[in-house]
Copies of this chain bind each other. A is one copy, B any other.
Amino acid sequence: MDFITFLGFIAATVTTLSFLPQMIKTWQSKSAKDVSFGTLVSFNIGVFLWLIYGIFLQAWPIILANGVTLFFNLIILWLKIRYR
């Protein structure tokens, strides 16, 4: 694997795992007042579109990164709705 591809994998891993702290924080504090509902809904829609795009291209890095990102953000959205 060349350096640029490696950089892409690192970028994908970092952005994907970055939503874990928000998920854990919201889960523990049971509060998501300051988290924007509009951002969560539109981000989930956008990541879902990225996932469909990746499936069309059969591009596994796009599928994997966006699949996991969607999973985390759907949980954050669910917590936001639950604790509003």
Interface residues, chain A, with chain B CB atoms under 8 Å away:
4, 7-8, 10-22, 24-26, 29, 31-39, 42-43, 45-47, 49-50, 52-53, 56-57
Report how many copies the assembly holds. 2
Residues of B within 8 A of A53 (CB): 4, 7-8, 11
Measured CB to CB, the closest approach of chain B to A29, in angstroms, equals 7
Residues of B within 8 A of A11 (CB): 46-47, 49-50, 52-53
Residues of B within 8 A of A25 (CB): 34, 36, 38-39
Residues of B within 8 A of A24 (CB): 36
Residues of B within 8 A of A19 (CB): 39, 43
- Please tell me if the beta carbons of B49 and A35 are within 8 angstroms of each other in the complex: no
